Amino acid sequence: MPVLCASRRPPSFPLSRLRLQGDLLELGPDDLRFRPWEVEQLFRDVYDQSLPPADLSTLTSRTEGWAAGLQLFHLASKGKSAAERHQLVASLGPRTRLVREYLADNVLVELPDDLRTFLVDTCVLSRLSGVLCDALLERDGSGGILADLEQRQFFTMALDGGGSADGETTYRYHEVLRSHLEAALVEQLGEVQARHRYRVAGRLHEKAGEAVDAVRAYCRAEDWDAVARLLGAEAEALVVDPGAWVDALPAALVAEDPWLMLASARRALAHGRLQAAADAYASAEQAFGAGRGAETARSERAVIRPWLSTQPDRIEGWSGMLRAATIRDPLTVARRC
């Protein structure tokens, strides 16, 4: 007889035998997470509230597809104009009232005081391990606390294959929770002391060889000298997959470095801002001059060029063919492939 079991934590009874026999169907947090196309369908078909691609990308990124977060955004934006919804997406973050109230009243309230304190104190780290947290907090036992938080399925996830340099398991907090904790940290310590904490976190990440996480922490600390130093040494590696740290950089700093221009272009492209991406690619190509990054910027800009025209004159590459198929006769384009 089939048995359905639902819980916010893994059940205490053993599941390994059922897994081995193929008699167990497990649905975990990642299975319940909304993907970008599912977010689009949710708002279009269920909420009757279509959002442009760039807003959908930002909303999905900042909620990580968390169902409750998407519902809270819907409630906050219901009945508002398209321009007002766009502003809400842009401002979505730790100070969003509905999100903060939900986390405070339904999530954090379940934790003992020491765990809540640990969460706030360690939110300055992008990746968390027992060693990093112990160094930050000047204490022992952080690895066990992180394992307990993951076991509770409390917005804490072990990274796939994410062992730290010392062999420890590496974790991260869900983006929605981390943003909430960062706001709580500023409220408790004030902006000046919070920036000091981020500066310490940046040094720890840098010492561990985690350049991307170090740059993010230095940006939040507004330690632009450390950012410039690290970018000077790691710029080419950092722009491979740029994250939110790019958005925190001063415009003047980006304008001085072609690698940062390339990172900005890739960041804009990832969020569906095609024209902004094309402009940033063009600026990067010009800034590189004869440098090796110029061809990279040129080729990546060529991929998105067909999508900026309603009637592309030429069909070049897979991107051009795909774009042409969306505005012309798909069978004619298919015959040319």
Q: What pLDDT digit, counting tens, does each position of 56-95 carry?
A: 888 888 788 888 888 888 888 887 888 888 887 877 665 5
pLDDT in tens, 219-269: 999 998 898 888 877 777 777 777 777 877 888 888 888 888 888 888 888
pLDDT in tens, 310-325: 655 555 555 555 655 5
Element (H, E) at 159: strand 156-163
Stretch 177-186: mean pLDDT: 89
Whole-number Å distance between alpha carbons of 56 and 58? 6
pLDDT in tens, 29-63: 777 888 888 888 888 888 888 888 878 888 888 78
Question: Is the predicted pLDDT of residue 149 greater than 80, yes or no?
Answer: yes
Amino acid symbol at 184: A
May I ask the CATH class of domain 109-238? mainly alpha
What is the full DSSP assignment across 261-327?
Answer: HHHHHHHHHHTT-HHHHHHHHHHHHHHHTTSTHHHHHHHHHHHHGGGG-SS-S---HHHHHHHHHHH
Question: How many CB atoms sit inside 10 A of residue 9's CB?
Answer: 9
Whole-number Å distance between alpha carbons of 156 and 95? 21
Stretch 5-22: mean pLDDT: 72
| pLDDT category of residue 24 using cuts at 50, 70 and 90 | confident
Say if residues 170 and 153 touch (Cβ distance below 8 Å).
no
pTM for the structure as a whole: 0.71
Biggest alpha carbon distance in the chain? 69
